[in-house]
Amino acid sequence: MLQITGEGSVRTCDGVTRRDFLQAGALGAIGFSLPQLAALEALGEVRKDHEDRSVILIFNLGAPSQLDTFDPKPDAPGEIRGPFKPIPTAAPDIQISEILPLHARIADRFSLVRSCHHGAAAVHDTGHQMMQTGRLFTGGINTPHAGCVLSYLRGRKTDLPPFAILPEAMGNTGGGMPHGQDAGFLGKAYDPFVLNADPSKPDFKVPDLLPPAQLGEARLERRRKLRSIVDETVKNFEASENAQLLDSNFQTAFRLMTSAQARDAFDLSKEPQKVRERYGLNRFGQCCLLARRLIEAGVRFVTVNTFITVFDEITWDIHGSKPFTSIAGMRDIVAPMYDQAYSALIEDLSGRGLLESTLVCNLAEFGRTPRINPAGGRDHWPQCWTVYFAGGGVKGGRVVGRSDEIGAYPAERPVEPAEVVATIFHSLGLNLEATLPGPQGRPFPLVDFGVHEIKELFS
């Protein structure tokens, strides 16, 4: 077990410190026991009434244009407002772009934050880091993804992993830097399960984890014997961090491969065809449906990447010329796919009674330039953009913050990426004053001092 020198500042009645629980590296991979979870609750690390909360994080890789989606500026000059008109929605105070008509129908169930901004470089990778971990990676410190933090603090609920990424982890977006989709300094034991498959394909299977038909009992028995050999011959090795990681990874993989519950959760053929069609028979649509199934089966956190890269495919990255996307491509391909899947997800979660216990947050790394560029697109713009939230205790139909008259800068209530991540933690019932075991064994704050959730979303 990893240990940090020095005593924790809070101690339970049985003499265990809060820090002792946060140091227990192996526990997150195999799940806390009930007494351990009760002790964490007593220490204020988790709230009893929120312990079953979960998250679906839709990351709009490539970054939608705020002016062409959720923050239209109909009174601005044409080169700023763009080609699309605003339309009324189910929320009296919200208008959005005409390219998202299904969002408009359910706007009373989500709330917009129109004043998100950051001051880092206008490259995709830095925004990915900040929006998923709450911090920019500096000094060689890779901060863990919010889902990995949840995995560490709460562990698994079922045979399924606590955190999954669909359909793949983020790929090349031009910066050559980490994207913030792993466990960082918490260690590989808390890395997410990554699907690495397209669930819209007719032959969709979960590679490496669920046993295919040809995997027989003999092969499983060899795995059991390997485990037995490890148990019998490396007793002196078991106290080391590497041994614990090997053991927990073995248990995780073996549990998934032999779990009927896991096979069932990933089996989209169990869904009625009409439901699959409602989400859209494309990669993003079926990932959203799979995310709902995983949450329903007990996965705590699911990240859905709308795209994997910004190169040579139609994405939100609307620079206007190849290898990127045009505004027309966003209108004709990206927006309809996205609009259909998101609205299906929210309506499905609501109809199943899961929306209140599931935070659905739609994030992006930055916005787009207010002025349309010479290629007929919009370029990177971290100075202002829109993110939005539904479920998980969030009140729908609201707008937090306001951008200026051309959507270039926050005019009211600026929101930084750290507040977005703090909002996710708050919805999950985590204590924002908690610490994690950071690099060199030093306590690392869950969020920086003075960072709070976006309170207006919940009150």
The SS3 of residue 87 is strand
> Looking at the domain assignment, is residue 439 inside a domain?
no
My answer on whether 339 and 216 are in the same domain is no
161 with 229, same domain: the answer is no
First to last CA, the chain: 41
According to the model, what pLDDT value does residue 441 have? Answer: 86
State the sign of the Cα–Cα–Cα–Cα dihedral 329, 333, 339, 341: negative
Q: Which residues, 6 or more positions from 194, have their beta carbon under 8 angstroms from its beta carbon?
A: 164, 165, 168, 169
Give the H or E element holding residue 359: strand 358-363
> What is the DSSP code (8-state) at residue 330?
I
Query: Residues 372, 87: contact at Cβ < 8 Å?
Result: no
Residue 137: inside a domain: yes
The whole-model pTM stands at 0.84
pLDDT in tens, 101-146: 999 999 999 999 999 999 999 999 999 999 999 999 999 999 999 9
pLDDT for residue 31: 41
CATH number of the structural domain spanning residue 62: 3.40.720.10
Rounded to 5 degrees, φ, ψ at 300 are -80, -35
Residue 206 is predicted with a pLDDT of 87
Strands 385-390 and 110-116: antiparallel
216 and 185 belong to one structural domain? no
Q: What are phi and psi of 426, to 5 degrees?
A: -60, -45
- Of 222, 204, 122, the C-alpha closest to 166 is 204
User: Looking at the domain assignment, is residue 178 inside a domain?
Assistant: yes
Q: How many CB atoms lie within 10 A of CB 445?
A: 14
Residue 8 lies in a domain: no
Please report, rounded to a whole number, the percentage of residues in the chain having pLDDT higher than 70. 78
Q: Which of 380, 363, 358, 362 is nearest to 371 (CA)?
A: 380
Q: Looking at the structure, tell me whether residues 238 and 307 fall in a common domain.
A: no
- Residue 242: the pLDDT is 55
For the chain, the residue count is: 459
Tens-place pLDDT, residues 312-338: 899 999 999 999 999 999 999 999 999
Examine the domain organization and report whether 279 and 400 are in the same domain: yes
Q: Are residues 224 and 246 in the same domain?
A: yes
CA angle 303, 428, 414 (to 5 degrees): 80
CA 453 – CA 430 distance, rounded (Å): 11
- Its domain, for residue 242, covers 212-257
What is the C-alpha to C-alpha distance for residues 428 and 426, in angstroms, rounded to an integer?
Answer: 5
Asked if residue 251 and residue 173 are part of one domain, the reply reads: no
Measure the CA–CA gap between 6 and 278, rounded to whole angstroms: 55
Q: Are 423 and 432 in contact (CB under 8 A)?
A: no
What is the helix (H) or strand (E) element at residue 86, kind and residue range? strand 86-88
Contact 284, 315 (CB under 8 A): no
pLDDT computed for residue 26 by the predictor: 33
Q: Are 395 and 457 within 8 A, CB to CB?
A: yes
With contact defined as beta carbons under 8 Å apart, do 164 and 206 qualify? no
Peptide bond connecting 211 to the previous residue in cis, omega within 30 degrees of 0: no
Q: Cα(176)–Cα(180) distance, rounded to whole angstroms?
A: 12
**Strand-pair category, 443-445 with 435-437:** antiparallel
The domain total for the chain is: 2
Q: What is the per-residue pLDDT for 7?
A: 34
**Which mean pLDDT values do the consecutive 10-residue runs of the chain (459 residues) have?**
31 36 36 43 56 95 98 97 97 97 98 98 98 96 97 94 98 96 97 96 77 53 62 54 54 69 94 98 98 98 98 95 94 98 98 98 98 97 98 98 98 98 98 94 95 97
Claim to verify: residue 119 and residue 226 sit in the same structural domain: no
Q: What are the tokens at 153?
A: 């603090």
Pairing of strands 163-166, 193-194: parallel
Mean pLDDT of the chain: 86
Same domain, 122 and 221: no
Of 365, 344, 364, 363, give the one whose Cα is nearest residue 355: 344
pLDDT in the model for residue 205: 87
Q: Are residues 296 and 399 in the same domain?
A: yes
Does residue 295 share a domain with residue 159? yes
377 in Cβ contact with 339 (< 8 Å): no
